[in-house]
Structure 1
């Protein structure tokens, strides 16, 4: 699947989670690779919480409508809200691709650079990206290893306002979808399930889009997508 490339170990964890969950094939097709990616993104516990949430929505939809279309969209978009691109993820993604190896293939003149703009530096007034050389890779390795503290009291990056908002979105979204499934309007349920599609961008742009997302959860049929 484009954009998802979990490790074999993560794929095995996800396979076991979905074997146990007993979800419809269409939901599993969308959810299993995303659960695997969440294992690599943070840890197996996050993937387990993802599968539990997807199962709760799939069960509610099956009981209400006898379908799985809402659960499929929920599996797609809950992953998007859970796997936000913070400092730990930027480090992991930089290290995932062997950029140093690619650069060395360009000859002795090749020069590896990473262009980053962390939120905490933006908060201090830095308005441009920093260009850092290959010497930063050990720091990236430390950040990648520290990704398991994401969302805990040890997560210093998580103190940023945008990170606190990002952490609040998955439970808000899950609650809204389950609430919508208690009504008889299947179109509204699908609209709520697809609401995270508007959550894009970084910092102020993302926060503005979060406001749109929350409006869609409240009145999806009355908000321009």
Structure 2
């Protein structure tokens, strides 16, 4: 339901179908086991529901931000937003993204941006051109490919490796340069787990041949 609101019904269906395929494969390979599907449910959601520009805009304009302001302040003279949109590409002397200040007019811009979420991932999505968004798409595509590998390679001996591989996105944390660094470390762990899963799948076949 959340992903349907985040993007659209097709996006939510894509998530559900991925999990259904994996759930079926896990039940067939290891009856009664759900550990891989549960890990995939958490981590696929994480990669599909990233806090991008459209989601930030939605969070600021869905009423919760205004309600929180009302709780903390009876009144305020000026509203100022400090944001670091990747599309601006501003960086400080340390090379890290530099925040810019925006006045109360930004709320109108955020409302418009939230309404344009349907452009996310399309040819009309200007934010998709940034390096950060390209990396996010690559991470999701890689993870969906990994889920296909897991579904085809699941075996009793490989259940632990499969669950660990399905949990790799959990190693990716933070935003900007912090997220990029953790993603690079996660990539190394992913490679190790893919090899481990494949070996676990091949082992029963070798034993059968003997």
Q: In which range does the TM-score fall when normalised by the shorter chain? A: 0.7 to 0.9
- State the secondary structure of the residue aligned to 1:219: helix
Equivalences for residues 54-69 of structure 1 within 5 A:
54-66=19-31, 67-69=33-35
- Distance in 2 between residues matched to 1:104 and 1:75, nearest whole Å: 35
- Compared CA separation, residues 81 and 108, structure 1 to 2 (3 A): closer
Paired residue for 2:79? 112
Equivalences for residues 88-127 of structure 1 within 5 A:
88-103=54-69, 106-109=73-76, 111-121=78-88, 123-125=89-91, 127=97
- Compared CA separation, residues 150 and 172, structure 1 to 2 (3 A): same
- Compared CA separation, residues 109 and 163, structure 1 to 2 (3 A): closer
Higher relative contact order, structure no. (Cα contacts within 8 Å, ≥ 6 residues apart): 2
Equivalences for residues 51-200 of structure 1 within 5 A:
51-66=16-31, 67-103=33-69, 106-109=73-76, 111-121=78-88, 123-125=89-91, 127-181=97-151, 182-184=153-155, 185-200=158-173
- Identify unmatched segments of 5+ residues in structure 1: 1-35
- State the secondary structure of the residue aligned to 2:173: coil
- Distance in 2 between residues matched to 1:172 and 1:107, nearest whole Å: 48
- Distance in 2 between residues matched to 1:187 and 1:108, nearest whole Å: 55
- Compared CA separation, residues 178 and 100, structure 1 to 2 (3 A): closer
User: Does structure 1 residue 202 correspond to structure 2 residue 167?
Assistant: no
- Compared CA separation, residues 190 and 92, structure 1 to 2 (3 A): same
Contact 2:26 2:154 in 1 (8 A): no
The TM-score normalised by the length of structure 2 is 0.80
Distance apart, 1:146 and its partner CA: 0.8
CA RMSD of aligned residues (A): 2.3
Aligned residues: 187
- Identify unmatched segments of 5+ residues in structure 2: 196-210
